[in-house]
């Protein structure tokens, strides 16, 4: 009980934002990770976790039965759910994947704006723990465990300053990374290599073509990036010392 009480005490503590240079340097670091191909190949696994987690969450909230999640070494993933093959639940489940990382990043930015940088880390650990119950392959198990251990170590052992830096870095990464898989998806579709993509599934479920849904993914992820960046930047400016 003392352990849980200590976690709650840390997670519920509101912190002032770090210095301005920390906020923007973490954003630049995250941008470099997204744009530099070698680091993107590794970090894209984080986007896949958010993508498949969003599919799973949408399936559950729409009443579908979740059967499992698989994460693969090539950064692809698969979330299996059962229920009606058409209708709102299936549409929302298919839609959630590509917009998921951006919306998670937006939610993280909101938590930072409220001062819950440490609470964000513990919430992410909880989400990973819940996902772990649905993982159905070894690489997925390894991916979730490594992510959880890293966040857990920072949340428990690191100083408050480093916890805040990690929270900002994760948030910036999710916001900045979210649009890139959408652009990659359209490249794959144009080359005829993504016939079973979420966009094409939505095209079969709705009257709108796959390109329309790629546009929706892009608008949502770019919108989340714009709003999340404004929340983070404006809040840190508001807390600058006044002279």
Query: pLDDT per residue over 15-50, tens digit each?
Result: 888 888 999 999 999 999 999 999 999 999 999 999
Which among 118, 120, 153, 124 has a CA at the least distance from the CA of 15? 118
CA dihedral sign, ordered 98, 91, 85, 209: negative
- Whole-angstrom CA distances from 72 to 48, 78, 140, 154 are 9, 8, 6, 26
What span, in angstroms and rounded, lies between the C-alpha atoms of 216 and 43?
Answer: 24
Q: Would strands 77-82 and 65-71 be described as parallel, antiparallel, or unpaired?
A: antiparallel
Element (H, E) at 79: strand 77-82
Contacts of 184-192 with C-beta under 8 Å, sequence gap 24+, read 185/98, 185/214, 185/217, 186/211, 186/214, 189/214
The pLDDT assigned to 118 comes to: 95
What span, in angstroms and rounded, lies between the C-alpha atoms of 3 and 217?
Answer: 41
**DSSP class of 90:** H
Neighbouring CB atoms inside 10 A of 232's CB total 24
What span, in angstroms and rounded, lies between the C-alpha atoms of 214 and 233?
Answer: 28
What span, in angstroms and rounded, lies between the C-alpha atoms of 27 and 3?
Answer: 33
Q: Structure tokens of 166?
A: 């990690």
Query: pLDDT per residue over 210-238, tens digit each?
Result: 999 999 999 999 999 999 999 998 755 55
Domain boundaries, the chain: 2-238
- Assign 3-class secondary structure to 46-72: HHHHHHHHHHHHHHHHCCCEEEEEEEC
Element (H, E) at 82: strand 77-82
Q: Structure tokens of 168?
A: 């900002």
Q: Structure tokens of 47?
A: 């986007």
Per-residue confidence at 242, pLDDT binned at 50, 70, 90? very low
Which among 178, 28, 12 has a CA at the least distance from the CA of 111? 12
The pLDDT assigned to 2 comes to: 80
Query: pLDDT per residue over 184-214, tens digit each?
Result: 999 999 988 877 899 999 999 999 999 999 9
The pLDDT assigned to 239 comes to: 53
Q: CB-side exposure of 187: number of CA atoms within 13 Å? A: 6
């Amino acid at each position: 009980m003392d352990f849980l009480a200590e976690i709650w005490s840390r997670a519920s503590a509101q912190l002032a934002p770090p210095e301005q240079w920390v906020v923007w340097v973490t954003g630049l670091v995250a941008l470099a990770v997204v744009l530099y191909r070698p680091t993107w190949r590794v970090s894209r696994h984080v986007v896949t976790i958010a993508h498949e987690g969003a599919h799973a969450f949408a399936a559950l909230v729409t009443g579908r039965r979740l059967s499992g999640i698989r994460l693969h070494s090539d950064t692809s993933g698969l979330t299996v759910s059962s229920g009606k093959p058409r209708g709102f639940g299936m549409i929302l489940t298919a839609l959630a994947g590509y917009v998921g990382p951006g919306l998670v990043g937006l939610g993280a930015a909101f938590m930072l704006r409220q001062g819950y940088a440490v609470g964000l880390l513990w919430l992410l650990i909880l989400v990973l723990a819940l996902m772990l119950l649905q993982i159905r392959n070894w690489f997925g198990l390894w991916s979730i465990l490594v992510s959880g251990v890293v966040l857990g170590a920072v949340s428990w052992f690191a100083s408050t300053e480093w916890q805040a830096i990690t929270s900002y870095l994760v948030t910036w990464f999710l916001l900045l990374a979210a649009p890139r898989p959408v652009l990659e998806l359209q490249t794959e579709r144009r080359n005829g290599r993504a016939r079973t993509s979420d966009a094409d599934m939505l095209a079969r479920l709705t009257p709108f073509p796959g390109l329309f849904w790629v546009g929706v993914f892009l608008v949502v992820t770019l919108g989340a990036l714009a709003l999340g960046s404004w929340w983070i930047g404006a809040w840190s400016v508001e807390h600058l010392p006044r002279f």
